[in-house]
């Protein structure tokens, strides 16, 4: 600094101006290139953004559940789209502490979910959830979170008048006044299910075509926000024990381990996103595995330990992360696994409906899935969580 000033004073003005001009122009050019890159690839820029905008960036998945008396965000009994099976209070749950917890990232605060602001921001848009029953829960949660902000609940309806059931393949709720659709497509594996080959082994009663994306996938495009999940059906009991086996390239893959099949299905999904989805329009998210808390082999109770417990499914998060980081288009992971590990208190347990079967996988509504939606919309409101830091 002092040297620059000296040269100004000492009369070597022209050289200095030329040099300064050169430095400033280079900085502007490099800055613009990086800026454009980050705008085009908001997620892939994480390395760069960590370097440049480190101050504002926040790892929203690293945090704690804190008490907040302003929660829950809605009352399921007043929301016609919350299925009775998830409404623990209506099914006899008496304690309410589990309703009063808010997810708090360690290094920042999420903006408070304002139904009014979110509804305005998604006016005219199409929000689509694809996956298993966990996706359906998130879909119901979002609708109920938004319904608490609409003045005219009569103008919110399911487009086909369908009842919300476990097996329905499509559910779509319109918020008429906001020209908004919030939809759910059931696709538990994301890839295609088919009939067994004619001359295959007798134990093969159904196949999962790992190299073909689900045939209803064409309905997922032309959306503005697209949220996927998969994981809970990739188990021996939902695959091999019911005679469902893998196929790829038209051939049965009888010895293929589940993790390898999950990875192949994700690659199929990833190429589909790259080829078919216009990521200039559609923000794509993938939610990681939601932990369950079954206790031991007798399955007699939910494991109410408050410590995070790591289970065999943890490999799925790593596989998902590998696939998504190598994609050519931006896809954002909603990494909800570790935040769910703490919430052994928030499962349905015996407050189930219609059958009182114990359920240590699904979550009560209101509850944990509301936090997934808070994360989803905080992403959209803070330029990919970049503007959260202090
Ligand atoms: C939710 O709404 C129902 C029906 O209006 C009401 O009976 C219940 O007390 C409400 N629950 C809470 C926690 O406010
Ligand atoms: C509703 O949104 C769609 C886009 O999703 C748009 O094409 C249409 O014009 C909108 N309708 C009204 C009445 O605003
Ligand atoms: C539900 O509605 C959608 C869109 O309005 C339509 O394409 C579909 O065929 C309907 N499905 C059923 C099962 O009624
Ligand atoms: C997305 O936008 C970029 C830059 O504006 C453009 O080059 C690209 O072709 C667009 N992609 C699609 C699928 O429209
Ligand atoms: C609960 O989980 C912890 C940690 O994984 C384990 O050590 C404990 O045995 C489990 N308790 C029951 C009752 O299964
Ligand atoms: C999810 O977040 C946890 C906690 O921050 C981290 O340990 C884990 O590696 C993350 N998983 C993925 C797939 O990013």
- Which one is catalytic: 133, 187, 292, 344? 133
Q: Cα separation of 139 and 373, whole Å? A: 9
Query: Quick one: pLDDT at residue 289?
Result: 86
Terminal alpha carbon distance of the chain: 30
Query: Collapsing DSSP states into helix, strand and coil, what is residue 271?
Result: helix
Residue in 245, 344, 362, 370 annotated catalytic: 362
pLDDT at 203: 93
Q: Is 359 a catalytic residue?
A: yes
Q: Does 338 score more than 80 pLDDT?
A: yes
Average pLDDT over the chain reads 85
The residues near 389 (Cβ < 8 Å, ≥ 6 apart) are: 55, 56, 57, 58, 107, 108
Average pLDDT over residues 189-204: 93
Region 306-319: what's the mean pLDDT? Answer: 65
Q: How far is the CA of 299 from the centre of ligand 5 (A)?
A: 12
The predicted structure's pLDDT at residue 3: 40
* Interatomic CA distance for residues 212 and 105, integer angstroms: 38
Concatenated DSSP letters of 219-276:
GGSS-SEEEE---TT-STTTTGGGTEEEEETTEE-TT--HHHHHHHHHHHHHHHHHHH
Nearest CA to ligand 1 atom 7: 77
**Residue 331 parent element (H or E):** strand 331-334
Q: Which atom of ligand 2 is nearest to the CA of 125?
A: 5
User: Residue 106, Cβ neighbours under 10 Å: how many?
Assistant: 11
Confidence of residue 389 (pLDDT cuts 50, 70, 90): low
Ligand 4: atom nearest CA of 279 is: 13
pTM, rounded to two decimals: 0.84
CA of 99 to the centre of ligand 1 (A): 13
SS3 306: coil
Q: Where along the chain do its domains lie? A: 65-381
> What is residue 195's DSSP assignment?
P
CA–centroid distance, 124 to ligand 2, in Å, is: 5
- In this predicted model, which residue has the larger pLDDT, 354 or 38? 354
**pLDDT beyond 70 at 35:** no
The closest residue, in CA terms, to atom 2 on ligand 1 is 77
Any ligand 3 atom below 6 A from CB of 218? no
- In angstroms, rounded to a whole number, what is the distance separating the alpha carbons of residues 114 and 261? 40
Q: How many angstroms separate the alpha carbon of residue 346 from the centre of ligand 5?
A: 16
Q: Does pLDDT of 350 surpass 70?
A: yes
Q: What is the mean pLDDT of residues 254-272?
A: 97
Q: What are phi and psi of 286, to 5 degrees?
A: -135, 125
Query: In this model, does residue 193 exceed pLDDT 50?
Result: yes
Residue 148 near ligand 1, beta carbon < 6 Å: no
State residue 31's pLDDT score: 57
CB 184 within 8 A of CB 170: yes
- CATH number for the region 65-381 comes to 3.40.50.1110
pLDDT at 240 over 90: yes
Quote the pLDDT of residue 147.
96
Cα 29 to averaged position of ligand 6 atoms, centre (Å): 35
Judge whether 343 and 363 are in contact, CB under 8 Å. Answer: yes
* 133 is a catalytic site residue: yes
Active site residue: 293, 359, 370, 378, which one?
Answer: 359
Separation between Cα atoms, residue 282 and residue 180, nearest integer Å: 15
């Amino acid at each position: 600094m002092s040297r620059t000033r000296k040269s100004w004073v000492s009369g070597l003005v022209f050289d200095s101006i030329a040099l300064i001009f050169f430095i400033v122009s280079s900085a502007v050019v490099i800055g613009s290139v990086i800026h454009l890159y980050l705008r085009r690839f908001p997620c892939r820029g994480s390395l760069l953004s960590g370097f440049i905008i480190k101050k504002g960036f926040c790892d929203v998945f690293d945090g704690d559940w804190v008490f907040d008396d302003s929660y829950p965000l809605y009352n399921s009994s007043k929301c016609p789209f919350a299925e009775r099976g998830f409404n623990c209070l209506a099914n006899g749950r008496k304690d309410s502490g589990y309703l009063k917890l808010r997810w708090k990232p360690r290094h920042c605060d999420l903006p408070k979910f304002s139904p009014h602001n979110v509804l305005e921001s998604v006016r005219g848009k199409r929000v689509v959830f694809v996956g298993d029953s966990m996706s359906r829960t998130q879909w119901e949660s979002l609708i109920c979170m938004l319904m608490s902000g609409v003045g005219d609940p009569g103008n919110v309806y399911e487009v086909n008048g369908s009842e919300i059931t476990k097996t329905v393949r499509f559910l779509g709720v319109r918020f008429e006044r906001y020209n908004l659709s919030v939809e759910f497509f059931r696709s538990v594996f994301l890839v295609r299910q088919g009939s067994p080959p004619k001359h295959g082994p007798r134990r093969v009663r159904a196949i999962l075509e790992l190299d073909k994306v689900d045939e209803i996938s064409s309905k997922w495009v032309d959306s503005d926000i697209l949220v996927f999940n998969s994981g809970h059906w990739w188990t021996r009991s939902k695959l091999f024990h019911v005679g469902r086996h893998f196929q790829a390239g038209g051939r049965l893959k009888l010895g293929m381990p589940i993790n390898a099949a999950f990875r192949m299905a994700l690659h199929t999904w990833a190429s589909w996103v790259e080829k078919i989805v216009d990521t200039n329009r559609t923000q794509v998210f993938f939610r990681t595995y939601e932990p369950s808390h079954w206790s031991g082999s007798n399955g007699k109770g939910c494991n109410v330990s408050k410590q995070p417990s790591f289970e065999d499914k943890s490999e799925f998060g790593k596989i998902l992360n590998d696939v998504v980081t190598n994609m050519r288009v931006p896809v954002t992971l909603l990494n909800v696994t570790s935040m769910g590990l703490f919430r052994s208190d928030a499962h349905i347990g015996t407050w189930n409906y219609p059958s009182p079967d114990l359920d240590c996988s699904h979550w009560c509504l209101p509850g944990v899935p509301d936090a997934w939606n808070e994360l989803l919309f905080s992403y959209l409101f803070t330029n990919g969580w970049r503007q959260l830091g202090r």
